[in-house]
Structure 1
């Protein structure tokens, strides 16, 4: 495994932790900044909007900067942002700082995945993407619980001091391990070419498939805690353990998806979406039984990320000649999908459907996604086109 990928993983872990750890200390933050908990919740939605809107815009604006230089600057923004959060005097300043860090987050994941694929052979792209994504999944398993525990014991500001130190580690790793030499072409693509590559059917169909995956994953996951309590009958004390198992499954799924992407990318996506539709059927049928439900939630997490890795690999592969805008749309699309899934789930519950009905939507989205993937794969096969050559400066 190339050492530069380790640096990218560490920074991904840091960004992932700071995005999600706020949920674990939200009541303390609200009390410390003298706002209500619902108002403090804007720190979560503001971060998501920063990624979704600011990430793509800033990625285009920084397209001509050396990739190593840009990644180092993004790490510096992260470090400064955590320091500022730890010292934030009021809610407004905290929100502004979080949004600025979120913009850096959106740029980072787009750029890091492109750079990761350029540091390995073409037949290792999937695993390179998987390692960057693993930073996110591991952050949920290790970083978020650890950050929440620090906040609960020493106060919420200590959480951000810990994130500041983690940022220093990622910054040092970037400086020491990322290569400075060009991987391929040194001339960045223009804005119009960046936009045109989005019209390739492999790209826009992959974005549709990604949206279907988000519906399957986050419509139930947004409400997984009340579902496990009220439908499955689990004691609240066991729910963190179930979520931990889901995270472990997701981390395993990232690497499984990376292997499959390097082996048979589109057949793997199609097959996995059919399998996930079956898992959703099982979740609906066995949601009242604790032990089967725990197993299902673990497998569900694994397959979600096993599908996600090849989708992102495909987008990066088919936009390799103009990767900046397309790569930034990946984290942006994920956050838009998460917000949309939460909204649809809320509409279903408000409309009288119970928690048990939430996985049913996932059955249809997976079958629709599989159909889109199959049509796209067949169209690609008939066209005889091959992916473009890579063009990036590290």
Structure 2
């Protein structure tokens, strides 16, 4: 076990560094998900259908899915602090290209660049966070770092939607460009040097490849089904709220805000639960997502019930990223950077698959069949989580990969 970091960097500096990582994941996921909130005007501005605009999430997800697992293998001994800053610059470039896009071809290029930055930032943030604090606070640091994912729904997407409605959808992406550049500079100032962590000789995989470790494979299967289910339906939540409930654009922004608030609550609640029982936590979240989507499919025309289902949906899905992350690091303790890259790669690939599946089913069959398709996928995730092997129950805090020197 590595020695505590308190003597090198005081508690305030440690948590400020973790907070900066949280802001980075916030901007990353807001950049990825903003098309959900501005889908209709974005499609109109580019002269494409809403289904094609939704495919922009597929593009980002595919690229991030490739970048995330490759990054730890090709970065070598590069300082992870510098890598994170460069990735945020790439994210800014992708958003800037989206602002300038006039057709689908340029949108593809912009979302490709964005996907590279996203894959690197997301895969490294959850691994870097526990290296910045003492061992007993490692799980909380991971929860805070990935809370940006849920906070993107609470603040990012609703705020981007409001900016888009008020000043045009391009202005929202412009704001993300400036924010990403600012955070790139702050990363270099606030984080210490972060050399490549060394893999533990006593890794819980027992020397087996990650994809031959049963608990890792089951966790990835659950993630594939659950994230695909979520994004297949959630990408097109604005059209269903517009068409089925008939609520206004301002009300849709408020519903997305409520979804995000409960998502943020779910993130920290799931992080605390998963630190003790990661498998049970993920199974509970899968059940919540399944029930929420099924209720929405049955009662989407009833505004009050639809909104309640979306709130429950946010609570459950908000905890998935951190709970899944803890599942992975418990299943492959001692090999955190590689398993996290694999996890984020599968996660973002599932985002791409979900957005593609959602766009295809939505264009061909409409929203109700899409919701039932998503519910069936969530049921498959629940079954895999219940029946397959999970990580060992560990009551101690996650391992800190290695001691970080003072900046």
TM-score class, shorter-chain normalisation, is: 0.7 to 0.9
Counterpart in 1 of 2:401?
391
Counterpart in 2 of 1:235?
247
Q: Alignment length, in residue pairs?
A: 384
Counterpart in 1 of 2:226?
213
Counterpart in 1 of 2:354?
341
| Equivalent position to 2:178, from 165, 170, 180 | 165
Q: Is the 8 A contact 2:57 2:355 kept in 1?
A: no
Q: Is the 8 A contact 1:218 1:338 kept in 2?
A: yes
Counterpart in 2 of 1:369?
384
Report how far residue 213 of structure 1 moved. Answer: 1.9
Report how far residue 257 of structure 1 moved. Answer: 0.9
Report how far residue 393 of structure 1 moved. Answer: 7.5
Whether 2:342 is the aligned partner of 1:329: answer yes
Counterparts of 1:26 and 1:349, CA distance in 2: 14
Report how far residue 236 of structure 1 moved. Answer: 4.5
Deviates more, 1:261-270 or 1:220-229: 220-229
Q: Is the 8 A contact 1:194 1:326 kept in 2?
A: no
Counterpart in 1 of 2:8?
none
Give the alignment of 1:47-196 within 5 angstroms: 47-83=60-96, 86=99, 92=105, 95-154=108-167, 157-180=170-193, 186-187=197-198, 196=209
Counterparts of 1:224 and 1:276, CA distance in 2: 14
| Equivalent position to 1:290, from 279, 285, 303 | 303
Counterpart in 1 of 2:213?
200
Post-superposition CA distance 1:203-255 (Å, at most 9, x none): 11111121232244234324434544565x44354433323221221111111
1:220 alignment partner, SS class: helix
Post-superposition CA distance 1:61-87 (Å, at most 9, x none): 114212222112222333444455556
TM-score by length of structure 1 reads 0.79
- Aligned alpha-carbon RMSD (Å): 4.0
TM-score by length of structure 2 reads 0.77
Q: Is the 8 A contact 2:232 2:370 kept in 1?
A: no
Q: Is the 8 A contact 2:36 2:238 kept in 1?
A: no
Counterpart in 2 of 1:17?
30
Deviates more, 1:348-357 or 1:147-156: 348-357
